[in-house]
Structure 1
Amino acid sequence: MKNLLFIVFMLISGMVFSQNGKLKGYVTNGEGKPAEFVSIQLKELRKGATTDEKGEFAIDNIKPNTYTLVASFVGFKTLERKIKIEADKTTGINLELFENSELLKEIIVKGYVNANEKVVSVGKIAIKPMDLPQSVAVVDRQILDNQQAKSMSDVLVNTNGVYIMGTTGGYQEEIAGRGFSFGSSNTFKNGVRYFNGMITDLSNVEKVEVMKGSSAILFGNVAAGGIINLVTKKPRFDFGGEISMRAGSFGLLKPTIDIYGGIGKNQKLAYRLNSSYEKANSFRQGVSSERFYINPSLLIKLGKKTDILLEADYSNDERTPDFGAGIINYEVVTLPRERFLGVAWSNYTAKQLSTTATITHNFSENWKLNFTGAYRNYETDLFANTRPNTGTLITKEGMWIRNIQRSQVAEDYYLAQLDLTGKFNTGKISHQLLFGMDTDQFETRTTAYNQLARYDTVNIFGTKNYKIRTDIPTLSVATLTTSPVNRVGVYVQDLISLTKNIKFLAGVRYSYQQTGSEVYTFASKLTTNSVYFDGAFSPRLGLVIQPNKNISLFGSYSNSFTLNTGVDVDGNALKPSLIDQFEIGIKNQLIDNKLSLNLTAYQIINSNLAQISLANGNTNANIKELVGEVTSKGVELDFVARPVKSLSVIAGYSYNETRYTKSNTFVEGSLLRYNPNHTANLSVNYNFSQGKLQGLNIGLTSLYFGDRQAGRSTRVQVVNDNFKLVLIPAYTQIDATAGYTYKNISLRAKVGNIFNVYSYNVHDDNSVNPIAPRNFSTTLSFKF
């Protein structure tokens, strides 16, 4: 399988380069809103496409000629228009469909789509960002290609306030936003939760959607701060595709393939297949990685009103875990960037498989029913040294006694979700209604092994040699913990347009959750069980005032909850912690929609925070009380513009302060760890669209990541507490990109971390992972 992509790459590369043209367009309804599921056909060729949720479509590989374009959708006047396709050119068009018998409208060239016009599908209902009392961001495929994005770290350069908070072990990218960690409950792929404890492949991602703030009404138990949704590429009825090969520093090789097309002549079936293989070493000596990814999908059109989309997603990722080293007495010690101090045979394997079926039925233009059924399984196996300073501290001379750990985790996840969306009027008041229900089920199985203490000894400075072991020990199994979670939710939301300028968003969700735990101890052959039940309402209220179509003022309030583990002093399950979120802001569309400028301020209060109980001198961390509170405050500024045709600019700034405002465990007023107070980003891209440099694309991407804390928060209830916070200094990283496209061939290049900035991602006081030094990569791609 690993060699298959190389073979396919070489075969297709040998094809005769096409001299054909392309057609891309955008379809709106009579109200100027994107029209999805519109059928676009070239009558003479029986070739076509279907518009997506943004109203966009594309048809590739068209022989030069004049054709009759037919645009049709139930309830609308069918539109026909003559289109001239020229060799090696892309014809851009804009279609406008009407319900009445007006004369057919002209086709005009499609212009720039403002950032405040990009609807996020993860919102479950197509509310325009200008009407939504919430901050959102969309990073589309063009941005990913221009910036040569390889991982989520590259994507989140464009989303201030949402960032990578750590890379513990080097095998994951830990995401956070507005001061709160985004676990797997906050990360989605096509609206379905996915496991984010492994590196994410971006080869099949069409766009990345970010909804900041509360999304509890839509998805139930999610952490505060926001959610991220990856939207994958979908099947198309016109035949085409792309193959590419990326090569770069540290032995990086990554071939990818993307093929799509229709099945049969009746335009009822369409497919898409994406796959990639990646193998690389690292700037860290002895560290390597290997990944295989495949994503097949099939679209079935049962009629003009009903579609079925079947998707599968599989990733197998294997890499060397690297917990770094370099904290002594709560101070980061400077070591050579390339020095790897883990055991040579250590390994982390992560596999994830998901299958999704989505059925969409359009009752009419205004009413739609959507059903999603999904299954996901992931398995991980970590076998490596323990983190530095866990168990045995590194001495001031640099001596580190390495222990060995192993853990295995497997999870099965099932989801059934039904959403009804509709638009209707009550008198002069218009409504955008969302009503839905969902149920999901998790079963997580964690196998913990007994650690091997004092495996061997190393010196992190390399000033003293010890006998290094290379044998792979056998560890005995300690416990098997099975954690089933069953959850059901019902929700309703309505965007009420009281007038053209005043809109009110109101909704509520009720969630009920059953959480269980079964722990089997192999040594004693004993099993302990516990079951917890929780239910809560999550309301959401928002007000939008629009003085004109280019300015939107908004304010919102939402409440949600997070579940707590452990028990109270009486052995009863803890109640959930409650989260109140407040957000106000202004969204602007300026200079004929060529520029968007948004400013948002927020406050998030996580009250009833569970902390260890101090009753009767308790030292059991599982016995807790709801006596804590964390408060996050911040401001975000987003700027996206295309001031001239070929220039695009993305910029942003965020300020966040997340502190313990009540605590019986930590110092009140102290900052939470890993969250920078300041982040800023600036990306500039210029595309030469004419002249001798036509086809050339150049860009710069910069990220400022402010000071943040690692280490361990000081505990107030412990006399002579030795815990300390570790200050990680700010840094600025700049990347440069360039690309050239000629006909169907593109060559892109990237220089990452141009100035070779040296900084770290640090977890606690035991995982110091340097950021990558200056690096290079090139990508050669061929479209057909």
Structure 2
Amino acid sequence: MKNFLFLFIFACSFSSLWAQTGQISGRVTDSSNKPIPYATVMLSGTDHGTNTADDGSYTIENVAPGRHTVVFSTVGYGTIKKNVVVTANKTSIVRVSLKQQQQQLDEVVLEGHHVKYISRDPSTSLRLKTEIAKLPQNIQVIGGELLKDQQVTSIMDGVIRNVSGVTMREHWGNFASVLMRGFRIPAFKNGFNFNDTWGPLADDMAFVERIEFVKGPAGFMMSAGEPGGFYNVVTKKPTENRIAQVSLMAGSFDMYRAAVDLGGKLTKNGKLLYRFNALYQSSDTHRGNEESERYGIAPALTYKISDKTSITTELNYHNAESYLGSAYVFAPAADGYGSLDRDFKFTDTNYPATEINELAWFTNFKHDFSENWGVESQFALFRYEQEGNSAWVFDPDGPGPLNAVNDNGDVFRYANIWDALSLGKFFQTYLYGKFNTGNVSHNTLAGFDFTEREYFPDFFTGFFPVDTTALFNIYNPVYGNTPDPVFDRSLGIKERTGNYEPYDGFTNRSFYLQDEIGFLNNKVRVTLAGRYTNLTTVGKNENDTKFTPRAGLSVDVTPSLTVYGLFDESFLPNFGISRDSEPFDPVKATDIEGGIKGQFFDGKLRASLGAFLITKQDIAISDPEDPTFTFSILQDEIQSKGIEFDLQGEITPELSVTLNYANTNVKVTEDSLFPQNVGNRIAGHAKHLTNGWLNYSFAATSKLKGFGASLGYQYQVDRSTWSWGADDQSDLPDYFRLDGALSWQNKHLRIQLNVNNLLDEYLYSGANFANYIYWQSEPGINGRLGVTYTF
């Protein structure tokens, strides 16, 4: 609280610098009083303005006192101008109704006001109604245009490069293990926590509208989440605007892909809207003999019961094949990383794929009581099922893989069963509203969360040593003489995992209350909130309960500069058991952070600079004295601290940019069992991490109109990725990757070529383990060509 008091006094000392300004608010509707989202609202003769939200509301802040003309426009509707007088420290209300036009507006579309790579507001699934730049938290959004320019197909395809301090550790092939601020963060979808120990399936970008990275515990979502934060995948929703788009792609390693995106009105009155996405992809890898397929569909419907009430339901289904564990390469420690060819294949040519099915169903109900008050409820069902196997190495003379790789290159390989079933039930309801008490504004949020998760993995009932005739030698590999692994699946997976008891899981019931209090015409915003959590963890006889507070401060030092501070806590289940077969109490963590957010070039370029300190206590880690890796011990405390910088937007109307840098340091700060570990680094991050992406699109007046070019880089210094049971002090070299793209588009057609790893570097991640090392390589220079046609 001393930090917040100091920050408040510091911010208030700049009050003499504040211009006495007012703001303009209102709502834009059509002739039937239906809200018009994404309409452009501008002050005539300036670049100062905004776009309407989903409910048609808008607010233009920091408007100089006096008479102004406000221009309202959007595609398919007529333009309206309204005169308004703005008074200092007051809000002027302007509501308009736009008339629909039959003719197309052609080049009158206000492209000059559209800014690439910037999202002004969080999605509704984050519940917050405040503009991102004014929130006392670091939230970064990866929008559809950036995903399109980088031509990524899944979240494992380099998406994380667009956010400071985010890395991905080694993977089995089916899910993205994303780390932020040094901790693995959970995967949310439409506001629900779908995370598993070994899942969920990596999201395909064909169904994705945007991805939101929320840093810190975020009590307003799920204080039982990881203190490093989470990422929230927002799927494509039904829309009134007609969508008809087909995309085809071909790339290196026999990658072929097709996707379709359809949407619009199903009824003339616009009460029933739809969205339908589908995809199919087949591909190999740079290692070869790993041909796989992936397909999925995502239908969605919205029914507008009235102008104030709507219900949306959607289904996401994916089927995917994955070669679990096949990306790993093992070698003697003396040889060093990258001692084998980057296309070296460790598994046999007939190594079978694992089949994965994932199904998610969402239903959302929304009702607005008035312009300022509303309620939203949603529920979801989730099912993830996989059947297959995974590859690793083992020591034939003892438990665990301690001596599985010999100095002469002989390796003991095996495949084990790798089946899993993950089930989830979710429900959320929350009330939001705005009101004033005198000159003080209130933006309130109250809600209830329910989460029930069960995870049934079978990694142990089947073990198949593949080196039945001769050891596999990495220096003289022989392929094709290994029989297919055979496992007994006569019992269902729940029976195999122990009388229907899940391996891990929890039930969470949480209540949340928040008030964002605005002072001095909302230039100073104080957030006070609290969450009560009742947590039931598998294997524990008693429930754990805790109240976690949240406090934030956000101050507009100038109209384009905001400082903020935040204190938040998290409370999450602790999976694992001790040698006495006793479960552990939940993990507790606190986050203290603060920073500056700035807007430049009339809001076209946005930047944030912040610092954080996370303290995490009672963390279950592998017992270093257990060679079977079955039991865990508690580490008393670790801390993660660092600084983060993010920049997105337009430098000029033609040049768009995203740039970030993070300095992250995660270490053990208390360890009563092994005090010698204090000061040791925790794996899962790079100490210095910076990424950039530049996109240049030629102006409409240029002879090269429609052409564009992009160039991006990823640079990691002093990195330590995940190490399974090994010393966290891995000795990985620095990582630098350069990517580029060329594109051309007109009103209907877009053609794009992306080339990754332009310098053809041998890139990998890995770790030390006892007497050997392992790593996963990335492909050399590779590319993909995409063609998209919009009808």
TM band (smaller chain): 0.7 to 0.9
What is the TM-score of this pair, normalised by structure 2?
A: 0.82
C-alpha contact 1:34 1:54 (8 A) present in aligned 2: no
- Return the match for 2:444 from 424, 433, 454: 433
Q: Name the counterpart of 1:130.
A: 133
Match of residue 47 from structure 2: none
Indicate yes or no: 2:299 matched with 1:296: yes
Give, as a single letter, the amino acid of the residue that structure 2 aligns with 1:191: G
Partner of residue 766, structure 2: 762
Q: What residue is the counterpart of 1:576 in the other structure?
A: 586
Deviation at residue 327 of structure 1 after TM alignment: 3.5
- Counterpart secondary structure, 1:676: strand
Take 1:47 and 1:302, find their aligned partners in 2: how far apart are those partners?
12
Deviation for aligned residue 1:473:
2.7
Q: What's the counterpart of residue 526 of structure 1?
A: none
Secondary structure of the residue aligned to 1:364 is: coil
Task: For 1:547, give the aligned amino acid.
Answer: V
Higher strand share: 1
Residue 144 of structure 1 aligns to a residue whose secondary structure is helix
1:507 aligns with 2:520: no
* One of 647, 656, 661 as aligned partner of 1:653: 661
**Greater shift in the superposed pair: 766-775 or 244-253:** 766-775
TM-score with structure 1 setting the length: 0.83
Corresponding residue to 2:145 among 142, 146, 157: 142
What corresponds to 2:357 in structure 1? Answer: 351
2:64 — aligned with what? none
**Structure 2, gaps ≥5 residues long:** 1-21, 40-49, 56-74, 82-92
Assess if the C-alpha contact under 8 Å between 2:117 and 2:143 holds in 1. no
Does residue 470 in structure 1 map to residue 470 in structure 2?
Answer: no
Distance in 2 between residues matched to 1:751 and 1:297, nearest whole Å: 34
Query: Residue 661 of structure 1: CA displacement?
Result: 1.1
Instruction: Give per-residue Cα distances to partners, 1:534-558, cap 9 Å, x unaligned.
Output: 1112211111222222111111111
1:407 CA displacement: 2.3
Query: Does the 8 Å contact 1:510/1:537 carry over to 2?
Result: yes
The aligned counterpart of 1:342 is 347
Q: Give yes or no for the alignment of 1:739 onto 2:750.
A: no
Q: Deviations over 1:624-657 (max 9, x none)?
A: 6655211101001112231211111111110000
Q: Helix, strand or coil for the counterpart of 2:609?
A: strand
Q: AA paired with 1:336?
A: D
Residue 490 (1) aligns with residue 511 (2): yes
Task: Return closer, same or farther for 1:54/1:197 CA change in 2, 3 Å cut-off.
Answer: farther
In the alignment, which residue of structure 2 is the partner of 1:452?
464
AA aligned to 2:475 is G
2:562 to 506, 530, 552: 552
> How many Å separate the matches in 2 of 1:247 and 1:117?
34
Verify the 8 A CA contact 1:273 1:296 in the aligned structure 2: yes
Cα distance in 1 between the residues matched to 2:631 and 2:54:
57
Q: Cα distance 1:609–1:230, how it changes in 2: closer, same or farther (>3 A)? A: closer
Counterpart in 2 of 1:363? 369
Q: What CA deviation, in whole Å up to 9, does each residue of 1:350-378 have, x standing for no partner?
A: 21101111000001111110000111111
Q: Distance in 2 between matches of 1:620 and 1:239?
A: 57
- Could you say which residue in structure 1 is the equivalent of 2:43? none
Structure 2 equivalent of residue 749 of structure 1: 753
Percent of aligned positions that are identical: 24
The worse-fitting range, judged by mean Cα deviation, of 237-246 and 386-395 is 386-395
Within the candidate set 254, 258, 263, 2:261 is matched to: 258
Q: Distance in 1 between matches of 2:169 and 2:162?
A: 15
Q: 1:327 to 1:506 in 2, by over 3 A?
A: farther
Q: Deviations over 1:751-781 (max 9, x none)?
A: 1110111121226647521012111111111
Q: Give the aligned partner of residue 13 of structure 1.
A: none
CA distance in 1, matches of 2:728, 2:562: 45
Q: How does 1:614-625 map to 2 (within 5 A)?
A: none
Alpha-carbon distance, 1:711 to partner:
7.6
Match of residue 386 from structure 1: 392
Q: State how far apart, in whole Å, the 1-side matches of 2:79 and 2:519 are.
A: 39
Give the 5 Å matches for 1:13-412: 31=23, 39-40=29-30, 50-51=37-38, 55=52, 68=78, 77-80=95-98, 85=103, 89=107, 91-92=109-110, 110-112=113-115, 115=118, 117-152=120-155, 153-166=157-170, 168-182=171-185, 186-195=186-195, 196-321=199-324, 322-329=326-333, 331-343=336-348, 344-387=350-393, 391=401, 392-412=403-423
How far apart are the structure 2 equivalents of 1:128 and 1:66? 27
Shift, 1:689, TM fit? 2.5
| 8 Å contact kept, 2:284–2:290 | yes
Contact preservation (8 Å) 2:466, 2:485: no
Report SS of the residue matched to 1:156.
helix
Q: Any idea what the Cα deviations from partners look like across 1:227-278, whole Å, max 9, x if unmatched?
A: 1111122112243310010111111111000111212222110111001101
Aligned-partner Cα distance in 2 for 1:750–1:255:
17
1:783 corresponds to which residue? Answer: 790
For the 8 Å contact 1:47–1:237, the answer to whether it is kept is no
| Matched AA of 1:730 | D
SS in 2 for 1:312: strand
Offset of residue 662 of structure 1: 1.5
* Partner Cα separation in structure 2 for residue 34 and residue 128 of structure 1: 16
Pairing of 1:504-653 with structure 2 (within 5 A): 504-517=526-539, 531-566=541-576, 573-610=583-620, 626=634, 628-653=636-661
Q: Verify: 1:772 aligned to 2:790, yes or no.
A: no
1:110 CA displacement: 3.4
Give the match's secondary structure for 1:188: strand
Letter of the 1:631 counterpart = Q
8 Å Cα contact 1:634/1:654 also seen in 2? yes
User: What CA distance in whole angstroms lies between the structure 2 residues aligned with 1:200 and 1:116?
Assistant: 21
Matching residue's letter, 1:366: N
- Residue 566 of structure 1: CA displacement? 4.6
Q: Distance in 2 between matches of 1:329 and 1:199?
A: 31
The residue type paired with residue 295 of structure 1 is: A
Q: Is the 8 A contact 2:723 2:767 kept in 1?
A: no
C-alpha RMSD over aligned residues? 3.2
Deviations 1:30-53 (A, max 9, x none): 955696xx6557x9xx99975599
Q: Determine helix, strand or coil for the equivalent of 1:163.
A: strand
Q: Structure 1, residues 564-592: CA drift from partner, whole Å, max 9, x if none?
A: 23556887643222101110101111232
Aligned residues: 701
Secondary structure at the aligned position of 2:128 is classed as: coil
Cα distance change on mapping 1:110 and 1:533 into 2, 3 Å: same
Q: How far off is 1:290 after superposition?
A: 1.0
Distance in 1 between residues matched to 2:479 and 2:169, nearest whole Å: 34
SS in 2 for 1:684: strand
Given that 2:169 and 2:721 are in contact with CA atoms closer than 8 Å, whether structure 1 keeps it comes out as: no
* Distance verdict in 2 for CA 1:421–1:724, change over 3 Å: closer
